[in-house]
């Protein structure tokens, strides 16, 4: 993790932005508490008042939630997925890398996926709390509901069953669920209008070959997340 030299002060205002090539953490707190349960070291592609873009490289060591018996979360039946005790474990990001794009204050981020050989697969709209910046990265809370967007501009909702189950299990109250649905509707409006970032050509982007795969710091869970629901 880069400490000194990872950020630069922008003369036009008080905002501090990371320079391209900086290594930061992209984290999510658990939905029923204040602890971080997802941590992914990423490399900054762009960071300014309009956009944060980061690259999650293949093979990156990450932290992910699992059930206390080691069962992967996605394998557990939906009815008990969010009620059984959990812990976290270190793992590697397998497959191709992911480019993540987030605009300040927006309640979603857009992820780009590729097949092997850099054949573009799809955009993925991850509905979440707007990113909160801290000294060594950004934090959010996932809101379960997502949207897949394909190269032909077609789209469909994803994880509606998880979104509903999270509400049944008390991980999301009615007011938050309503705000998430509204955010999803706003994202769909952007998709239908083919606005940013879908029209910006990010699918043609490639990482700098000189970038090293970031390491997961031992204190990946430092600086607890504080954000309102």
What is the helix, strand, coil percentage profile of the chain, to 5?
15, 40, 45
Residue 177 pLDDT exceeds 60: yes
Query: For the chain, how big is the Rg over CA atoms in Å?
Result: 17
- Fold assignment, 7-31+40-62+90-204: FomD barrel-like fold (2.40.380)
Per residue in 13-69, pLDDT (tens digit) is 446 899 999 999 999 999 987 899 999 999 999 999 999 999 999 999 999 999 999
DSSP string, 169-223: TTSS-HHHHHHHHHHHHHHHHHHHHT-TTTTTTGGG----TTPPPPPPPTTTT-S
Query: Rounded to whole angstroms, how far apart are CA atoms 158 and 33?
Result: 24
Are 220 and 25 in contact, with CB atoms under 8 Å apart? yes
CA distances from 71 to 15, 85, 207 (A): 42, 11, 33
Would you state the pLDDT for residue 7?
36
Which tokens in the block code for residue 3?
């400490």
Are 49 and 107 in contact, with CB atoms under 8 Å apart? no
Residue given tokens 């573009």 in the structure block: 120
**6-10, 122-126, 181-185, 186-190: range with lowest mean pLDDT:** 6-10
CA distances from 76 to 72, 86, 87 (A): 7, 11, 14
Are 50 and 34 in contact, with CB atoms under 8 Å apart? no
Per residue in 188-224, pLDDT (tens digit) is 999 999 999 999 999 999 999 999 999 999 999 986 5
Strand bridging mode 86-92 / 98-102: unpaired
Query: Rounded to whole angstroms, how far apart are CA atoms 20 and 46?
Result: 6
Residue 72 pLDDT exceeds 70: yes
Are 128 and 109 in contact, with CB atoms under 8 Å apart? yes
Which tokens in the block code for residue 188?
């769909």
* Strand partners for 98: 56, 113
Task: Count the neighbouring beta carbons within 10 Å of the beta carbon of residue 48.
Answer: 12
* Strand partners for 88: 65
Would you state the pLDDT for residue 163?
98
| Maximum CA extent, the chain | 52
* Strand partners for 17: 8
Query: Rounded to whole angstroms, how far apart are CA atoms 199 and 58?
Result: 25
Per residue in 81-122, pLDDT (tens digit) is 999 999 999 999 988 999 999 999 999 999 999 999 999 999
Interaxial angle between packed helices 160-168 and 174-193, expressed in degrees from 0 to 180 and rounded to the nearest 10: 160
| pLDDT band at residue 228 under the 50/70/90 scheme | low
Task: Count the neighbouring beta carbons within 10 Å of the beta carbon of residue 111.
Answer: 17
Question: The pTM is what?
Answer: 0.90
């Amino acid at each position: 993790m880069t400490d000194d030299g990872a950020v630069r002060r922008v003369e036009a205002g008080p905002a501090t932005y990371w320079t391209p090539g900086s290594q930061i953490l992209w984290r999510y707190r658990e939905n029923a508490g204040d602890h971080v349960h997802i941590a992914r070291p990423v490399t900054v592609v762009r960071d300014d008042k309009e956009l944060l873009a980061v690259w999650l490289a293949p093979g990156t060591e990450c932290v992910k939630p699992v059930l206390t018996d080691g069962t992967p979360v996605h394998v557990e039946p939906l009815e008990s997925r969010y009620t059984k005790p959990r812990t976290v474990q270190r793992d590697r990001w397998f497959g191709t890398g992911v480019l993540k794009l987030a605009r300040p204050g927006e309640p979603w981020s857009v992820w780009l996926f590729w097949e092997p050989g850099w054949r573009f697969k799809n955009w993925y709209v991850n509905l979440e709390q707007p990113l909160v910046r801290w000294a060594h990265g950004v934090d959010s809370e996932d809101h379960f509901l997502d949207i897949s967007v394909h190269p032909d501009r077609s789209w469909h909702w994803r994880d509606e069953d998880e979104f509903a189950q999270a509400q049944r299990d008390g991980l999301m109250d009615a007011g938050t669920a309503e705000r998430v649905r509204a955010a999803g509707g706003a994202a769909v409006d952007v998709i239908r209008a083919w606005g940013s970032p879908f029209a910006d050509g990010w699918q043609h982007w490639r990482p700098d070959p000189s970038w090293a795969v970031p390491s997961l710091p031992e204190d990946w869970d430092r600086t607890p997340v504080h954000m309102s629901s």
